[in-house]
């Protein structure tokens, strides 16, 4: 029997699966745990199921010597020091694939909401009533159909965003670390170096992980390359964009607008973003549908149960930490 600690409110059918397999399960349902609280809560745990708001660093790993596996409820693992976990042979798992379509849907929801000024129109209608149909209303937006989309990070979510763009007859550019010949053929997407993509696109959608290389990938210079009527959508991670530079660009009309699901200093939101009419802001809800969150919970539990049975977890991020696994280069 192992102790499994879950740092967030969870689906009861998934905690039951763990208990039925004979494990002790602790669930923390309150607000996010600070570091000391996390260490006390997860004391002696072999397995930890965590939310993206939890940070697993060297100190936490040091403080939890019995820990063998960390199952992240999310695909991005920038909240975990993977190198430190690997050094200590702590396995890290994530939840890829199951959240791809929900996150691509949210990227599109933001794109359309900004382009057609939906949130602003809704707020004005509630506040001021419907003034009657006019030919040139306050909420004139921009076309989406037939325009050009540039997708930065062309993995699972980026390609899912592109599949939807085909339904809008868009020209599709992408920029990624490596070329994707199959996706180019299947989706009619064209590779472009980042500066070219930024110059050409009416909509730029960020779909890549946060790493030292992608931190502030979009800064003042990159924003200045974008069209004045372009819209930026970020469903990746906040620090991929220099938020100060973005606020300046939005205020000065250097770009038309932005749809942001993620923020540089979450859960803080840049105060000036809150006052801008040309942004739509959501609180990191890319994968937040009932169906997707159930699949993410199930996958996290599948990973923990596989490990506790002595099997390699299905979505292991650091196979180097698995006995006999490859050493990190
Ligand atoms: P993925 O399949 O691994 O795709 C990531 C893509 O980014 C890959 O194509 C990768 O290129 C590219 N990339 C990585 N580093 C790069 C760099 N330095 N320059 C250019 N391209 C780079 O991951 P995914 O499942 O699509 O998820 C992507 C990210 O979305 C996650 O890491 C997470 O941060 C974020 N996310 C956010 C939400 C939300 O709620 N808003 C939900 C889910 C995911 P290669 O293919 O060449 O390696
Ligand atoms: C959400 O942000 C994720 O990485 O799954």
207-265 per-position pLDDT tens digit: 999 999 999 999 999 999 999 999 999 999 999 999 999 999 999 999 999 999 999 99
Is a pLDDT exceeding 90 seen at residue 159? yes
Q: 220 to each of 111, 213, 217, 226, 321, how far by Cα in Å?
A: 21, 16, 10, 10, 39
Distance 74 CA to ligand 2 centre (A): 4
Nearest residue to 2 via CA among 27, 19, 17: 19
Give me the mean pLDDT over the 115-134 stretch: 97
Task: Give the Cα separation of 300 and 298 in Å (integer).
Answer: 6
Which pLDDT score, from 0 to 100, does residue 307 have? 98
Tell me the per-residue pLDDT of 164-196, one tens digit each, with 9 for 90 and over. Answer: 999 999 999 999 999 999 999 999 999 999 999
Report cis status (omega within 30 of 0) of the bond before 267.
yes
Give me the mean pLDDT over the 42-55 stretch: 98
Residue 33 exposure: Cα atoms within 13 Å on the Cβ side: 22
Phi, psi of 20, deg, nearest 5: -65, -30
To test ligand 2's pocket by mutation, which of 99, 206, 238 has the most ligand atoms within 8 angstroms of CB?
A: 99
- Among residues 222, 284, 293, 320, the one annotated as catalytic is 284
Evaluate: CB of 287 within 6 angstroms of ligand 1. yes
What does the block give as tokens for 65? 């010597």
Average pLDDT, the chain: 97
**Angle at the Cα of 140 from the Cα atoms of 135 and 225, rounded to 5 degrees:** 150
Which pLDDT score, from 0 to 100, does residue 217 have? 98
Is a pLDDT exceeding 70 seen at residue 271? yes
What does the block give as tokens for 100? 């791809």
Task: Give the Cα separation of 197 and 179 in Å (integer).
Answer: 14
Confidence of residue 325 (pLDDT cuts 50, 70, 90): low
pTM exceeding the 0.85 threshold for the entire prediction:
yes
Asked if 309 is an active-site residue, the reply is no
Question: Strand 91-93 relative to strand 148-152: parallel, antiparallel, unpaired?
Answer: unpaired
């Amino acid at each position: 029997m192992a102790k499994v600690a879950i740092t967030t409110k969870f689906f009861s059918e998934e905690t039951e699966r763990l208990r039925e397999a004979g494990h002790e399960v602790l669930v923390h349902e309150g607000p996010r745990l600070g570091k000391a609280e996390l260490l006390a809560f997860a004391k002696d745990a072999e397995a930890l199921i965590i939310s993206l708001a939890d940070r697993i660093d060297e100190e936490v790993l040091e403080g939890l010597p019995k820990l063998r596996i960390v199952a992240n409820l999310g695909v991005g693992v920038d909240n975990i020091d993977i190198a430190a976990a690997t050094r200590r042979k702590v396995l890290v798992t994530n939840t890829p694939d199951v959240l791809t379509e929900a996150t691509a849907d949210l990227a599109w929801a933001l794109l359309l909401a900004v382009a057609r000024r939906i949130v602003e129109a809704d707020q004005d209608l509630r506040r001021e009533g419907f003034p009657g149909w006019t030919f040139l209303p306050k909420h004139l937006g921009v076309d989406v159909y037939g325009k050009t989309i540039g997708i930065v990070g062309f993995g699972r979510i980026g390609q899912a965003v592109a599949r939807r763009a085909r339904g809008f007859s868009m020209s599709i550019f992408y920029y990624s670390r490596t070329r994707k010949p199959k996706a180019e053929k299947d989706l009619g997407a064209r590779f472009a170096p980042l500066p070219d993509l930024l110059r050409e696109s009416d909509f730029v959608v960020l779909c890549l992980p946060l790493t030292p290389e992608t931190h502030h990938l979009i800064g003042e210079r990159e924003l200045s390359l974008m069209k004045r009527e372009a819209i930026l959508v970020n469903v990746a991670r906040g620090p991929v964009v220099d938020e100060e530079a973005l606020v300046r660009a939005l205020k000065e009309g250097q770009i038309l607008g932005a749809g942001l699901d993620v923020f540089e200093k979450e859960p803080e939101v840049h105060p000036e973003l809150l006052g801008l009419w040309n942004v739509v802001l959501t609180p990191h809800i890319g994968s937040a549908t009932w169906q997707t969150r159930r699949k993410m919970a199930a996958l996290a539990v599948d990973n923990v149960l596989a490990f506790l049975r002595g099997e390699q977890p299905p979505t292991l991020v650091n196979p180097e930490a698995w006995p006999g696994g490859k050493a990190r280069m």
